[in-house]
Chains A and B, each alone.
Chain A
Amino acid sequence: MNNYFKSSFVILSALIFFSCSKSGKSEETIKTNYESNKDSNLIAVASPPFSEFIFPCSRCHKNIEPNHKRRELVWAHDNIKLEHDEKNRWCLDCHDANNRDKLHLADGRLLDFTESYKLCGQCHGPTLRNWLAGEHGKRTGSWKGQKQYLLCVNCHNPHSPRFKPLEPLPRPMKPSELRDTNGIRL
């Protein structure tokens, strides 16, 4: 596992930060070089799906003493309903108590939010492996060159990861409903 994480660090070749002029909040793009596809760059396009004005977390948290006690949140983040191994997990298992703008791995190493897939991969190892190979999750871009990746959290809300049902688009027409330009049944 340790080797695995080492290699994931190698994979992460560059971090490019740029600020998004529209919302004024910083958006990050990760450039990765997936080992078995060396000549192509994999880019996680999507920045982590922060709610508006929430990042950097330290803006509020720098003045708040960390409270390690498991409790119901009432002053802030009360919209978060933890449905992710909630009996055994708590905010500070993933969010770092001392550096609020980072996440941490189980061994304490700090992570940017753009690397959150490594955190997910601690428990969901096979899924991370499939994601890196392009099997799990969605890649867009070029089948032969640059691809864009979505982070785990772009599809799975980390606090409630089950994929939410969607409304389907309309059913196709039945042959009996098809008409030509003159309204005559085809």
Chain B
Amino acid sequence: MFRNYLKIALRNLLRNKLNTGINIISLAIGLSASFVIGLMVYYDLTFDTYHPDSGRVYRVTSRFTSPQDEFVNPGVPIPLPQAAREEMTGLEIVAGFNTVDLHKAGNPESGLDFKDPGPQVFADAAYFKLFKYDWLAGTPEGLGEPYRVVLTRERAARYFPELNPAQTLGKTLVYNDSIPATVAGIVAAPQGRTDLVFEEFLSSGTFQKTDRGHYAIAADWGSTNSSDQLFVRLSPGTDPTAVQKQLDRIAKAQESDYDRQYNHHRTFELQPFSDLHFNSELQTFDNGRQPATSRPVLTGLGCIALFLLLLGCINFINLSTAQADQRAREIGIRKTLGSSKKQLLLQFLGETFLLTLLAALLSIVLSYFLLDTFAEFLPEGLHFGNFRETPVMLFAGALLTGVALLAGFYPALVLTRFQPVRVLKNQVVNTPGKPTLRRILTVFQFAIAQIFIIATLLVGKQIRYMQNKDHGFRTDAIAYLHAPWHLTSLDKNERLAREIAKIPQVRAVALGGNPPASNSSSTSTAVFFRDSTEIQSPLQMLAGSREYYDLYNFEFLAGRKPLNDTILEYVINEAYLHIIGFENPEDALNQNIRMNDENRPIVGVVRDFNPRTAAAKIGPIAIMPDWDRSREYSRFNFIHLDLKNPGDGSLSPTISAIEERYKEVYPDADFELNFMDETIAGFYQDERSLAKLLGWAMGLSVLISCLGLLGLVIYTTNRRTKEIGIRKVLGASLAQLGLLLSRDFLVLVGIAFLIAAPLAGWGLYSWLQDYAYRTELSWWVFILSGVGMIALALLIMGLRTLAVARKNPVESLRTE
């Protein structure tokens, strides 16, 4: 029976090569997208799932709110873990630990030193109760005293290459040349994906002996460092809100007078352990790690995969039901030969499954290329080999079955509904399946494709808008380089600037701090007194020499540049001007800003410029000369360059000339020249990734929909060959025939547009709300996408209908 079905299935697939091809390609596209996205979801969701009762594990984090702003810190004040142990109930395990990057580990016996070995942590036995590690030697209790360390097997093998775990116990390491630590245990590397990247666990008691040790001793509630971590496991049945209430109480009790006076609040929050991997704001312990794909992005990707799958299934449903009459005879005969409806149903579902299986094979190949194309979206640990993991295989199997059912069930029902007598009497039903259903599905397909087209066009438009938007300062032919952080000295920088200025291709040079737009910023709190009211606000500070203003071509609305590079005078932007309550820039001149208890005058106001992406509103900014120079510290660690545009387009001679000068001054440092326009383009990385993703989703959904359309058009024209022949004999023109055959489909594509346009418009409108500066939701985006889709549909239908309409009518009539 099975062999018989298989044979007939294969023969059917081979006989309708075009349909089979269309179905396999459409399904394979949806499947490969689902495989890749499923893999991503699986990968990101399987972090730290192997710890016991990890559902009850939370990290305690800090949130600070003030009238001006709000921010979070993944750490807690050092005394909180102690307070939690003593004052709180409902906690099964309280594990406070402190992360650290000790810059050197030494093995005194072998005399070997290891530079920057990687993140360590000061922890105690509670850490190992909370997180699962396999102990190869020693016990967690070994961390009970100061100057003890537990290593992973890998780390131990690096420090003590000759010794096995048991032999390593009792050996000594010296950190930072000053902190000795005896090895108290060896653990195996974690058994699953984890964000706990630590490989060396020093006993908590050792923490007081380090650089930050005085913090541990002072146990100050007033300072919070992200390296001071607190994890807890709630007792079974404990309501997290009850724990939260206790945390709120502690936070309240520790509020300072200053906090109360300025309405600053600190709260401690419970972050579920499962959120750790996804929360880009609170971060994990691996600073170099790309942030995990966020949950909304995963959801978005999931939707795209789902849509592509649906589109593929729709093609299958449409083509199989449209051509059902071709199989009606077989079904009628089988029924008279004694087949039950159930057997027929199974036969057709089996065929669909076979087709899906073939599509799956193709999709594995496609997945490989997709993984490659989207490498930038994917975490480093994710690769093609993950497909071999059992849960992934199970998911793939379930997906295939699901898709086969989704695609095959309705056509199978339609097919098996045929009554044998009607078939045998040659009254074969001319409209098998409901054409209305087919129409609805086609509309759905094209609406999805249309939405993707509109979204792609508009996201592209927004990116172009942001990149080309006037940033409020000069961005073309501007480059900057920074002096090495630790070796920086004003003398050297000034010398370097002078030397670089001598290069003929360099038009101008300016010393300063960060460029006007960059990823790093420093913000202080400024106070402004106006009519005896105090206006407190954050103020982003930029350091710039007098040349800095000219080079970046800031537009002064009032006032002037500071008189020299050390005088403490503010040049503010319009945003700050408005915060301190002025309309007219002239009025702000010579008013004082108080910062760090020093009053300094405003001497200039510049037009607003964008310090980062156009997504964010421009905040208050002040530019100052080198304001810390009196404290033997210079803010001028960047050299900004105005480069001549070389006639032949090649900058590399200029760059090497600059590098040469740089190496003379800083021989050991790495040279890196950044171009302003590239820096700005870099701000829009997320948007460009989104655009790329949408572009692909668009391309694939259009491809699937058009394939489906092609299949349907071929089917209809084949069925109407005779009618076309007769009409031609009666004198219909090619254009009339073309219109006749395409009209129905054009109407469908049109309806799809009418559905898609408002949906896309609404979605994109809300997307744009996230941007402070946004492009218009122009009507032409919609028209262009609608016209494009219709043109494409016309092209497909036109090619096919013309081919049929051009046939000699006598031929087609004779074949009937």
Tell me if chain B binds chain A. no
Residues of chain A touching chain B, judged by Cβ–Cβ distance below 8 Å, are none
Residues of chain B touching chain A, judged by Cβ–Cβ distance below 8 Å, are none
